[in-house]
């Protein structure tokens, strides 16, 4: 069912969604479901906007509720959307979700959200402000804080205190290092490519403008760099990868910082991103914080990461050098924000050498003790099963299987007569741990819970561990 746009025309602000959901199709208006209510609440709280002040539309005006529009559907809907924007004449388009954002900007939403972009589309100049979808905040960990951050940024844009981004930063100058670097450098962005047992080389940036690359087979320059870098502070991104690869090339660092850890703590403090994804990706951070566009190594000619092939080409050199430049520039961003003196970051950084050592040397493990523990757990499971089957037989079930929810439900609710108030989605009495928590002191329920715990311990942890470690 088609859902028509609504709102004043002309209008300075447009809320653009992906496609109407079930509730939207039932009511005939956009953003009226649970996610819509979250959106309007956030817009009013952070931006002072009400629904009556904005024009509301979707990229795709109909479709199947709950299904993301296919690229062909989006392309087919674009001419109508462009005509609509020309008619409404907005100054700001609030693009809610990836589909809406990617109409204007060809980047992942993780790179774009919360950053207003000045664009020209269909001959019309406007500002696009991408946000995570309010529905994501309802269902996925971390997205609600990022959605609130996006709306906070939108409020700053509307008040005139946050200028829109125009264009991208100039790409850095990168080259193969031919002789020792003699310029000034106290803080050095540093990156590696390759693996511990097969390093490709390293790149470094002494100034955040230029990147220099040293091949792993250039032993002379590596010996120079080993002595040079010890007197300087290095800035890495994901030092747990880089430090061992540097070690494989005969290099040890004096002091260093890690922009991945800095980004993680920046997001904890500000809610500016989704921790699992955005703090780990250097490309995302470079675009968000610096306007830099970094490539993907696996997309370069001749690169086959699965086969562990990285050629010594100028394309790979340019990629590697840009990563070092990005790390160096990010350091300046986080230093200005005071994150280098932020105690939780300092605590995290102090643990990295310990974690790296554990990864490199392994963690001591008592295989005999693990086998004994496994045997003990097996015996405990067998004795618990025997006890449960005896109790079940006295209640009239002579072939009791504690792994069968219907059998457990039958014995607990009908034979024993316990009241359980939680139900499954299908309407049946639940036998989950939470559902039975109120009766955990009952002897039969306690044995069922013990059986389940032992079964999970054996199947999920101990058996895979023994199979992995036992030669």
Q: Which domain-ending residue is among 336, 361, 386?
A: 361
Name the E strands within 238-353.
255-258
pLDDT exceeds 90 at position 424: no
Q: In terms of domains, do 379 and 357 share one?
A: no
Could you tell me the residue range of the domain that residue 461 belongs to?
Answer: 367-469
Residue 265 banded pLDDT, cuts 50, 70, 90: very high
Q: In terms of domains, do 213 and 329 share one?
A: yes
Percent of the chain with pLDDT over 90: 72
CA distance 207 to 329: 8
Omega before 10 within 30 of 0, i.e. cis: yes
Q: Which domain-ending residue is among 94, 124, 159?
A: 159
- pLDDT of 471: 60
pLDDT exceeds 80 at position 189: yes
Residue 110 banded pLDDT, cuts 50, 70, 90: very high
Q: What is the pTM of this model?
A: 0.78
Q: In terms of domains, do 321 and 244 share one?
A: yes
CA distance 237 to 352: 12
Q: Specify the number of domains making up the chain.
A: 3
268-277: pLDDT as tens digits:
999 999 987 7
Q: What angle do CA 247, 251, 253 make, to 5 degrees?
A: 100
Task: Give the mean pLDDT of 226-239.
Answer: 96
CA distance 142 to 149: 11
Domain assignment present for residue 2? The answer is no
387-407: pLDDT as tens digits:
999 999 998 888 899 888 899
Q: Three-state SS for 131?
A: strand
Domain assignment present for residue 4? The answer is no
Task: Give the mean pLDDT of 100-110.
Answer: 94
CA–chain centroid gap for 396, Å, is: 52
Domain assignment present for residue 63? The answer is yes
Q: Which domain-ending residue is among 361, 386, 418?
A: 361
Domain assignment present for residue 3? The answer is no
Domain assignment present for residue 241? The answer is yes
Q: What is the average pLDDT value for the chain, to the nearest integer?
A: 92
- pLDDT of 275: 84
CA distance 369 to 22: 56
Place of tokens 């002040």: 53
Residue 435 banded pLDDT, cuts 50, 70, 90: confident
Q: Three-state SS for 463?
A: helix
Least confident among 55-59, 65-69, 194-198, 414-418: 65-69
For 126, phi then psi, to 5°, come to -155, 175
Helix (H) / strand (E) element for 79: namely: helix 71-88
- pLDDT of 470: 67
Place of tokens 């099963």: 385
Task: Give the mean pLDDT of 120-135.
Answer: 93
Q: In terms of domains, do 145 and 188 share one?
A: no
Q: In terms of domains, do 104 and 60 share one?
A: yes
Domain assignment present for residue 107? The answer is yes
CA distance 431 to 207: 62
CA distance 169 to 287: 9
336-384: pLDDT as tens digits:
999 999 999 999 999 998 888 888 787 777 888 888 999 999 999 999 9
Q: What angle do CA 270, 274, 278 make, to 5 degrees?
A: 100
Residue 129 maps to which CATH number? 3.40.470.10
Domain assignment present for residue 243? The answer is yes
Q: In terms of domains, do 121 and 202 share one?
A: no
- Answer yes or no: are the C-beta atoms of 367 and 470 closer than 8 Å: yes
Residue 377 maps to which CATH number? 1.20.1060.10
Residue 168 banded pLDDT, cuts 50, 70, 90: confident
Relative orientation angle of helices 443-456 and 367-394, to the nearest 10 degrees: 150
Q: In terms of domains, do 374 and 348 share one?
A: no
Q: In terms of domains, do 18 and 84 share one?
A: yes
144-164: pLDDT as tens digits:
899 999 999 999 999 999 999
Domain assignment present for residue 94? The answer is yes
- pLDDT of 268: 92
Q: In terms of domains, do 447 and 399 share one?
A: yes
CA distance 329 to 290: 8
Q: In terms of domains, do 48 and 131 share one?
A: yes
CA distance 191 to 304: 19
Q: In terms of domains, do 324 and 418 share one?
A: no
pLDDT exceeds 90 at position 48: yes
- Answer yes or no: are the C-beta atoms of 216 and 191 closer than 8 Å: no
Residue 329 maps to which CATH number? 3.30.420.10
Q: In terms of domains, do 220 and 326 share one?
A: yes
């Amino acid at each position: 069912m088609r859902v028509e746009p609504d709102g004043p025309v002309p209008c300075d602000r447009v809320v653009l969604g992906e496609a109407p959901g079930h509730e939207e199709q039932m009511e005939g208006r956009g953003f009226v479901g649970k996610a819509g209510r979250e959106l309007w609440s956030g817009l009013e709280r952070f931006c002072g906007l009400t629904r009556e002040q904005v024009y509301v539309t979707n990229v795709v005006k109909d479709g199947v509720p709950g299904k993301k529009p296919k690229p062909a559907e989006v392309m087919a809907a674009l001419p109508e959307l462009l005509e609509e924007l020309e008619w409404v004449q907005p100054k700001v388009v609030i693009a809610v979700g990836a589909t809406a954002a990617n109409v204007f900007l060809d980047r992942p939403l993780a790179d774009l959200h919360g950053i207003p972009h000045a664009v020209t589309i269909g001959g019309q100049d406007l500002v696009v402000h991408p946000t995570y979808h309010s529905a994501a905040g309802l269902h996925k960990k971390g997205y609600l804080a990022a959605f609130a951050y996006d709306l906070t940024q939108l409020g700053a844009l509307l008040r005139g205190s946050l200028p829109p981004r125009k264009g991208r930063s100039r790409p850095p100058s990168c080259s193969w290092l031919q002789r020792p670097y003699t310029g000034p450098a106290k803080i050095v962005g540093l990156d590696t490519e390759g693996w511990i047992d097969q390093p490709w080389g390293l790149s470094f940036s002494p100034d955040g403008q230029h990147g220099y690359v040293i091949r792993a087979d250039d032993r002379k320059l590596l010996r120079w760099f080993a002595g040079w870098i010890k007197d300087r502070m290095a800035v890495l991104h994901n030092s747990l990868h880089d430090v061992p690869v540097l070690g494989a090339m005969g290099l040890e660092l004096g002091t260093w910082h890690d922009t991945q850890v800095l980004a993680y703590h920046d997001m904890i403090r500000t809610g500016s991103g989704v921790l699992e994804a955005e703090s780990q990706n250097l490309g995302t951070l470079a675009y968000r914080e610096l306007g830099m566009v970094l490539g993907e190594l696996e997309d370069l000619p001749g690169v086959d990461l699965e086969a562990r092939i990285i050629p010594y080409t100028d394309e790979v050199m340019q990629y590697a050098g840009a990563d070092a430049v990005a790390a160096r520039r990010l350091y300046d961003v986080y230093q200005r924000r005071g994150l280098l003196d932020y105690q939780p970051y300092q605590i995290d950084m102090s643990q990295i050498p310990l974690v790296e050592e554990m990864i490199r040397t392994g963690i001591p493990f008592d295989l005999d003790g693990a086998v004994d523990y496994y045997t003990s757990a097996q015996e405990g499971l067998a004795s618990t099963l025997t006890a449960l089957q005896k109790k079940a037989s006295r209640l009239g079930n002579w072939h009791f299987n504690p792994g069968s929810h219907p059998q457990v439900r039958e014995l607990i609710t009908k034979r024993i007569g316990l009241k359980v108030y939680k139900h499954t989605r299908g309407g049946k009495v639940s036998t989950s741990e939470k559902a039975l928590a109120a009766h955990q002191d009952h002897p039969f329920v306690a044995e069922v819970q013990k059986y389940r715990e032992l079964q999970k311990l054996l199947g999920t942890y101990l058996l895979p561990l023994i199979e992995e470690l036992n030669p």
